[in-house]
Structure 1
Amino acid sequence: MIPASFDYVRASSVDEAVEVLADAGEEAKVLSGGQSLLPLLRLRLAYPSVLVDVGRLPELRGVRDEGGHVHIGATTTHDEIIRSPVVRAGCPLVALATATVADPAVRHRGTFGGSMAHADPAGDLPAVAVALDMEFVLRSTTGERVVTATDFFTDYLETALEPGEILTAVRVPKLGEGWGYHYEKFHRTAQAWAIVGVAAAVRVTVSESGARHVAEARVGLTNMGPTPLRATAVESAAVDAELPPVPHATANGSPSTARLPSANGSGPHDTLREAASLADGDTSPTADLHATPDYRRHLARVLTHRALTHAAATV
């Protein structure tokens, strides 16, 4: 289909962008990579009077280490994030989840801030944002404000962005040493949205005897409600869980099966399974062509156990 008519402004600075947005009010849309917005325009699900293009503003692009957190410019592409040594070192979960977004073509054009501002509950990155307590930097003609991830995502495809505001950057806190990370996703094809996804971060402590336990856990759920969700019940239940030893390689290079969790579900990792069984609590998954709510609840429990187990094994 052909989009409805609109005015197009390629902003030369962030100041110009917010001024145009302030004048246009709720009838304006921000364009960066366009991987989410352009399909909405073509299907006439969005009718902006003005399209403000910020995709070529260097001040909104790039990744840098700022000590306690990693600063990611809103127009930084997914591909740039995946390849960034700063992201891989400071917030590995972001790189892991971003690598699962759509396909290489989309990852080369789509932007980190665009995915967040689109706020699709089936998107991979919002769940990571709530799990890691990211902060969103919003700018308008009246100044700048910072909103936490929990407050940023307000409803289905809705955020805390006010008319006239633009997302300029995302701050990702560094969790430090002793953390393991994993993003587990179930989807029909490599390009499809997640039917359910789980972002997990686990901090592991090792005693003098070599026993490994979960000291802290963070879990974010994808597509289990109108917004990304934090599975706080899982996080609390996972604390102090005893973990199996990290698998050792045998002479032929394969893992020693004697040190792997048993297939029948018995062993030290049972506590993680019990914690994961709480993953679907306080969720409101929808029904669509791909899954029923009950199926999504089942997936949430299974994928959370996998994500926690894999995350703990990487420490």
Structure 2
Amino acid sequence: MRTLTLPRDATIYIAGHRGLAGSALWRGLEARGFSSLVGVPSAEADLRDRQAARRVIEDVRPDVIFLAAARVGGIAANIAAPTDFLSENLQIQANVMDAAAAKGVPKLVFLGSSCIYPRLAPQPLREEYLMTGPLEPTNEAYAVAKIAGIMHVKAVRQQYGLKWISVMPSNLYGPGDNFHPQKSHVVPGMIRRFHEAKVNGVEEVAVWGTGRARRELLFADDFADGTLHALEHFDGSDFINVGSGEDISIADLAALVARVVGYDGTLSQDLSKPDGMPQKLLDTSRMQELGWTSSTSLEQGLRQTYEWFLSEVAAHE
């Protein structure tokens, strides 16, 4: 096992520091005593702009970069704007990595997504299953961009000798998530709809698809903890999965979220909507071998997420 000990005054740039993953990384780093964390809002530096990304890297001069900036969204958003998901994520990744490689930034952690795996790959999903079959059509463009990011890290390691790594999280949720009515992922989407149904006295809420699709969900702060563990203990030109190791059907997830929110109406299926990938469960044996497992139960994480939604989203609408 390789152990990397970063000085607590190392300059760490978190690209996408206000997003779900980025904000969780910020909290995790602060809790570990890191004192030189840098985040640049997109209004000040649009990382889709090559020159803006270059200026950020030159100004910050980071020792470590966490590349968490990305255009993200659920099934509906991916179906509606595949060009945007492909193009914008490719731009962000290439701009930041090219600028970082040119400056010789010694450590970069690229955040991918479990959607990189083939739609019908064996479960649980092992790292070696990458590019062994067709992708899930509903988020194919986003997945291709993330695969390109993995290959970019691998190429930089080969060409420049920089010890960059890639981590692949399962579906993340938690404080700081996007609760947009049309653009959110499954957990924040359910929380918002069930909360609004409870407040407005709606007797029935339809859940997308058959309810049989299964998803592995990882609390964002657990993901941050696992990613920081990978930074310290993993060094490879491939990538490593970071997940909870457990999955749940969409139907059971909906029932659990409804209970957490306190919605006691009827849940039905909207069969006109797609299920997406039938199952996404990561094989996390490599992380376990490095000494890490997640620690937050799904119900505990959902309750913390709902509390955050009530205080930070619902209270201001």
TM over 0.5: no
Judging by fraction of residues, say which structure has more helix. Answer: 2
User: Which structure: larger Rg?
Assistant: 1
Q: Relative contact order (alpha carbons < 8 A, sep ≥ 6): 1 or 2 greater?
A: 2
Judging by fraction of residues, say which structure has more strand. Answer: 1
Task: Name the TM-score, length of structure 2 as normaliser.
Answer: 0.28
